[in-house]
Amino acid sequence: MLTRSLQHIVVVGGGTAGWMTCAALAHKLAALPVRITLIESDAIGTVGVGEATVPHIRFFNQTLGIDEAEFMRATKATFKLGIEFRDWARLGDSYIHPFGAYGEEIAGVDFHQHWLRLHRQGSGGDFSNYSLPVQAARRGRFAAPSQHSGSLLSTYSHAYQFDAGLYGRFLRTLAEARGVRRVEGRVVDVAQDSASGDILSVRLDSGEEIAGDLFVDCSGFRGLLIDQRLGSSFQSWAHWLPCDRAIAMPCEGRGPLTPYTRASARGAGWMWRIPLQHRVGNGHVYCSSFLSDGEAEQQLLAELEGRPLAEPNRLRFEAGKRAEQWKGNCVAIGLSSGFLEPLESTSIHLIQLGIGRLLELLPLHGWDPLDAAEFNRLMNLEYERIRDFLILHYCATQRDDTPFWDHCRTMELPASLGEKMELFRQRGVVAPYREGMFLEPSWLAVYLGQRIVPERHDLRSEAVNDAELEARLASMEAACRDAAKSLPSHQDYLAQIFALAEAA
């Protein structure tokens, strides 16, 4: 292991992962004598279809001092209040996984326990009616959350839908302005220390050799450093997440901009719809064991709402992750570290999470194997939690209309997910996380949205009599509905923030 202090960080690969990494490192290390170099080749394409995000991206941008209106204009972004899921539990079903809370606690008992009590009695209505972001999304309305903690308008968050290629370019401009050096070229060889195996330098097709102390592998599925040179094994989760193909194709948009992403289940997978300012992103994620590539493409073309704007972008992948995402003096960020398919917009979040963990454990004053061990522990934990949440969407189905859904409904589950599901089925309890990407409201959205209704509710709810409880819930539902109606349309709000930015 290298013993000298960290002086030069070399990032191999551009795209969203590479430029997010460089922008964050340049910001964090601005006052330190640490050089940052990114190597990428214009001849090597990037995946570039990660158009939907989760609310964590807002804090990444804010940390870098990025103005929201400027960012949204540059990336053709729209706002996102959640994800609509169609046809997942049964054909004809629809629910929205919102970025926000449901109802509010009553008498020290979680809201959903009170709702379950009324639901078992045949009242209470639709659980999603108690979510402001769901009510707003279904009406095509949006406004930024309130900063006043007591307001109903503070009970939700939001993310963005943007052009990932444009986001990479936006961050490249930012990173280069803060001192990051970009080198055009393709890595053709890697020099390693004979004793430790650490990477000493990389050689480009131009003959240039670039030495470094820490190497960040953002080379995508190839895993140029972490896999091909350091041999970090890949842990496949394809037996739980069987989709292994995707076809992406943008098209012209029709109608108003919806402030949510859509994921519609299909015979052997699902299709996404992501509305941007200048186009609609579409894709078909499917399992090649149940559907041919040609059939998948024809199904996607048949559902486009407007004229196609590009040729199909065909992707192959395997759900899983690297056993070690930090090995020696190399850290894998992005697709080189793992991939859990596009459902629930987790890819850019995992990039951001990896960057955050790296910044926390960055070996500025020397190398300690415990840093890599802690990084791997934390990333493994988050990957496994996200894995379980994604599997839930597939296994919590009553569909038996295709062999694919028969497989998903009957497959053996990881013990960690099976225990969570049983706890909820029996008692309505969501297994608690102190931190993580998907917390209680997210699990509730999918459990109840896909027809997993607990057998019992918390008996402490009985302390509130039926009439009072029904009145409280009716008031909450009306408040969410009225607040949603008071918001401007998504399109009007976009126009407002751009107008304000121009006037500033």
* 360, amino acid identity: E
Task: Round to whole Å and give the CA distance between 102 and 111.
Answer: 7
Sheet of strand 320-322, all strands in order from the earlier edge strand to the far edge: 234-236, 320-322, 338-339
Residue 443: which residues within 8 A CB-CB, separation 6 or more? 389, 392, 420, 424, 430, 431
Place of tokens 């053996």: 412
> Which of the 8 DSSP states describes residue 99?
S
Four-residue CA torsion sign, 36, 42, 47, 52: positive
Check: CB of residue 284 under 8 Å from CB of residue 300: yes
Check: CB of residue 281 under 8 Å from CB of residue 380: no
Sheet of strand 199-204, all strands in order from the earlier edge strand to the far edge: 187-192, 199-204, 209-211
Residue 294: how many other CB atoms lie within 10 Å: 8
Expressed in angstroms, the distance from the first to the final Cα of the chain is: 52
Spell out the alpha helix ranges (H) of 76-163: 111-120, 132-138
State the catalytic residues.
Answer: 80
Check: CB of residue 165 under 8 Å from CB of residue 42: no
Four-residue CA torsion sign, 184, 187, 192, 197: positive
